[in-house]
Amino acid sequence: MESKNYLEDISEIKTMMSRSSRFISLSGLSGILAGIYALVGAALAYLKLNAGSYYYDAIPRSGYEKLEPSMIADLLSIAVGVIVLALLTGIVLSMRKAKRSGEKIWDVTSKRLVLNFFIPLVAGGIFCLVLLQYGIVGLVASATLIFYGLACVNASKYTLGDVRYLGIANIVLGLIATQFIGYGIFFWALGFGVLHIVYGAVMHFKYDRKTV
């Protein structure tokens, strides 16, 4: 009997330590919605590129394409819109989940999570702008997937371990996309869209239902 209580105490201590060192209020539903936003954004970008007769011309051959400034602005607007919607949704749903479980949404752990996530992400964003500057459009989708994957892996030590697998999957997908220049938008939709929906569904059924 005493041994059973001792094991329960150890389990409770481990749970408390995990809660104090990891941000566990990430919402699986926000991952699903982020994936949907990404698919819509990819569809809009695809239509925009096809309307300008860019997609199946020079890009599949070399990866270099001189896009008009207006086209670049439109594509960046779509990307920023998807990012803003995903972030706002993630913040709102994570706050709701934290409130239900009695956790703090903004503490030392969440600050470390955000910092470690955004360092690779911001670096990747700047790198993608440089690619656009030199007209290397064919590698932009690959670069976004790789740097986003690195951001997830880098931040995973401060949150649920499942984020690491999402990051690794995006890195692998981004590397594969480098060999299929001109079809990056499909890989972009697969990584940011489909993988996020699958990840969000797994997170929801694995963690979120326990807090409802």
For residue 106, the 8-state DSSP code is: S
Residue identified by tokens 């020079």 is: 58
DSSP string of 41-96, one letter each residue: HHHHHHHHHHHTT-TTTTHHHHS-----HHHHHHHHHHHHHHHHHHHHHHHHHHHH
User: What is the spatial distance between Cα 126 and Cα 195, in angstroms, rounded to a whole number?
Assistant: 24
Q: Which residues contact 121 (CB under 8 A, 6 or more apart)?
A: 147, 148, 151
User: What is the spatial distance between Cα 189 and Cα 148, in angstroms, rounded to a whole number?
Assistant: 13
Note if the pTM is more than 0.75.
Answer: yes
User: What is the spatial distance between Cα 184 and Cα 173, in angstroms, rounded to a whole number?
Assistant: 10
Paired residues of 23 in beta bridges: 159
Give pLDDT, residue 64. Answer: 52
User: What is the spatial distance between Cα 159 and Cα 109, in angstroms, rounded to a whole number?
Assistant: 8
In a domain, 1, yes or no: no
Residue identified by tokens 């209580």 is: 5
Contact status, residue 138 vs residue 63, Cβ threshold 8 Å: yes
In a domain, 21, yes or no: no
In a domain, 20, yes or no: no
Contact status, residue 124 vs residue 83, Cβ threshold 8 Å: no
In a domain, 176, yes or no: yes
Contact status, residue 113 vs residue 94, Cβ threshold 8 Å: no
pLDDT (tens digit per residue) in 140-149? 999 999 999 9
For residue 207, the 8-state DSSP code is: I
In a domain, 95, yes or no: yes
Q: Which of 48, 55, 50 is nearest to 71 (CA)?
A: 48
In a domain, 7, yes or no: no
pLDDT (tens digit per residue) in 8-49? 444 444 444 444 445 556 778 888 999 999 999 999 988 887
pLDDT (tens digit per residue) in 161-206? 888 999 999 999 999 999 998 888 899 999 999 999 999 998 888 7
Contact status, residue 158 vs residue 113, Cβ threshold 8 Å: yes
Q: Which residues span the domain enclosing 176?
A: 28-50+59-211
Q: State the total domains in the chain.
A: 1
